[in-house]
Amino acid sequence: MGDRLGSNGPVVVTGATGFLGKTVLAELIAGGDIEVIALVRATSRSDAERRGAETLAAALDRLPTATERRRVHWVRADIIETRLGLGDAAWRDLAGRTGDIIHCAASVKFDLPLPEAQRINVDGTANLLELATEAMWHGGFGCFHHVSTAYAAGMASGPVDADHLPGDRAGNFRNNYERTKARAERLLRSQQDVPIAIYRPSIVGGRTDTGRTDNWNVLYAPMRMMANGQLPMVPGSCGAPLDTVGVDYVARGLVHLAGTDRRGTVGHHLTAGRAFTVGQLVATTGRISRLFDRTPSEVRLLGPGRWRLVTAAIRLAARAPRWAGDIQRWGRLADRGLRTVTPYTPYTEVGCRFHNRRERAVLEDAGIMMPAAATYLETIVSFAVGTDFGRTPIVDRSAPFPTVGS
């Protein structure tokens, strides 16, 4: 078994059309000689190739060269289907060619019903594990690289390493996303046949150099509401950490670590460690919003008890009878905003710290580093507010967006 990623044959990538997967694809292409088989949901082979061509151009932020196009093979497949929805011959051919698997595909929605999250995040992983197992029988398989989340640790408190998994009870997790990502890890860790590497990023934000993103969920939902003057209150304490990493840091870190330890099962934290805080997010969003002539919210941070009282009052007002007039209108407007941010509010009171000393040392030796937390926060907020959260196009995509002092 070769130690270098891609030395055993093509790297099968899932989720290449998604936010992180697209960046991983670009990093693999930057490697120079890695061949990629990208699995994509599509209605036909031609549709898969069309989607693939669009994705590759977006991943590279330019038109790919002929050589780069030849190095990526787009295969119509669906991870939630048995044998990925492939016929017998196509399945055997894929297994025979697979050298490594990088499994990025997942549902990152926090409010999915458990059966739906299970089907995508757990059953989908099981189907990819079946591919890895069959590839092992062909004798040329390297490693199954699985993208999980640091929050698979659930409601743990204190220092947490990258192998910690709580018991499979709803009360141990903030949502079904965390719970099913932990279930997928448990599935992979329970088998002994396939080498497994698990990568646990924390909150994944825009690029570290420019702040660029096309994924406006999680951190960006409350950020947008604050910038628009629509979020006067946020739960959490001023010093609560929001461990956030750049999508390029995660992709580069994953691809680098993929060649460092390919024996047995190993977990890696791809986290900031030194995180910015809820208070810094609120202050930075307000300051940068004012630089762009917005009128942001004057946000108050509320403890758990007060937040429960506020949310109860909003929901009561939203259900008020029509004759209540302004009370009902205010309640319904506030309730709409509350539903937008509620899936993310538990992350303003995370009680654990993710151990990443080992990974950080390895990556720093390779020149892969996160900027200082305050610097990174400034970068991503400036891009988000400056582009009106993706509504305003950027002419020079490689240049950092202007921030204070620019």
Q: Is residue 142 in some structural domain?
A: yes
Strand partners of residue 11: 36, 100
Cβ(219)–Cβ(379) under 8 Å?
no
pLDDT at 266: 87
Write the CA distances from 248 to 57, 59, 195, 201, 209, integer angstroms.
16, 11, 25, 12, 9
Q: Is residue 6 in some structural domain?
A: no
Q: Write the CATH number for 113.
A: 3.40.50.720
pLDDT at 405: 40
From the list 10, 120, 6, 2, the residue with the least C-alpha distance to 75 is: 10
Q: Is residue 33 in some structural domain?
A: yes
Q: Distance (Å, rounded) from C-alpha 79 to C-alpha 21? A: 14
Q: Give the domain range for residue 130.
A: 11-201
In single-letter form, the type of residue at position 381 comes to V
Q: Distance (Å, rounded) from C-alpha 46 to C-alpha 358? A: 44
From the list 165, 49, 168, 45, the residue with the least C-alpha distance to 118 is: 168
Per the structure, the count of domains in the chain is 1
Q: Distance (Å, rounded) from C-alpha 201 to C-alpha 253? A: 10
Q: Is residue 293 in some structural domain?
A: no
What SS3 state is found at 122? helix
Say which residue the tokens 């196509």 belong to: 90
Q: Distance (Å, rounded) from C-alpha 151 to C-alpha 245? A: 13
Cβ(382)–Cβ(208) under 8 Å?
no
Q: Is residue 371 in some structural domain?
A: no
Strands 276-277 and 241-242: antiparallel
Q: Is residue 306 in some structural domain?
A: no
Q: Where are the beta strands (DSSP E) in 203-356?
A: 203-205, 233-235, 241-242, 244-246, 265-270, 276-277, 300-302, 352-354
In the 8-state DSSP scheme, what is residue 404? T
- Return all residues near 139 (Cβ < 8 A) that are at least 6 apart: none
Q: Distance (Å, rounded) from C-alpha 323 to C-alpha 98? A: 65
Strand partners of residue 145: 102, 197
State pTM to two decimals: 0.94
**DSSP H/E element including 374:** helix 373-386
Burial annotation 230-269 (CB, 10 A radius, 16+ → b, else e): bbebbbbeeebbbbbbbbbbbbbbbbbbbbeebeebbbbb
Q: Is residue 305 in some structural domain?
A: no
Q: Is residue 152 in some structural domain?
A: yes
pLDDT at 194: 94
pLDDT at 404: 45
In the 8-state DSSP scheme, what is residue 388? T
Question: pLDDT of the chain along its 406 residues, tens only?
Answer: 456 788 889 999 999 999 999 999 999 999 778 999 999 999 999 999 999 999 999 999 999 999 999 999 999 999 999 999 999 999 999 999 999 999 999 999 999 999 999 999 999 999 999 999 999 998 889 999 999 999 999 999 999 999 999 999 999 999 999 999 999 999 999 998 999 999 999 999 999 999 999 999 999 999 999 999 999 999 999 999 999 999 999 999 999 999 776 566 789 999 998 899 999 999 999 999 999 999 999 999 999 999 999 999 999 999 988 888 888 888 899 999 999 999 999 999 998 999 999 999 999 999 999 999 999 999 999 999 999 999 987 655 555 555 444 3
Say which residue the tokens 């995509």 belong to: 397
